[in-house]
Amino acid sequence: MRCRILIFCLLVVGGYAAGAGTTILFPPHLSSTDFVRQWRGAPGFPAEWPPKVQGEQAYAEGYLAAVVDLTQGSKWCSPARMEPGERDDRVITTVEKSPTNSNAAKALVDAYVARFPCQ
């Protein structure tokens, strides 16, 4: 019974992806430039963005959350009186100003470590 449900779900998701006409897979390597572009989204309010832009921004948000979850407390420490959104925005601005187009995870971790070292 579980196998039938799994096959049904895969067919529905596969059919939806094929019908949507967009690729739902993301590259294994995300450059810092692509990360910033996806994070910033597009001009206009998020409700007006096309589904591809909304998906890319959601991917960038999840990407950042994974980097923070894996490294906070061990490689860098968050300031006690700073909101996570403000902290993340400072780091993303640092990555955005960086002249290199390196791996996004490495660029983010390097920026967190430089801005918020553990005391």
| Predicted confidence pLDDT, tens digits, the chain (119 residues) | 555 554 544 444 444 444 444 554 555 678 898 888 888 887 766 667 788 888 888 889 999 999 999 999 999 999 989 999 999 999 999 999 987 788 999 999 999 999 999 98
pLDDT (0 to 100) of residue 7: 53
How far apart (Å, rounded) are the C-alpha atoms in residues 54 and 9? Answer: 23
* Domains of the chain: residue spans and CATH: 26-115 (1.10.890.40)
How far is 83 from 17, CA to CA, in rounded Å? Answer: 36
Q: How far, in Å, CA of 46 to CA of 39, rounded?
A: 12
H-helix segments, 1-119: 2-20, 32-40, 51-71, 84-97, 104-115
pTM of the model: 0.71
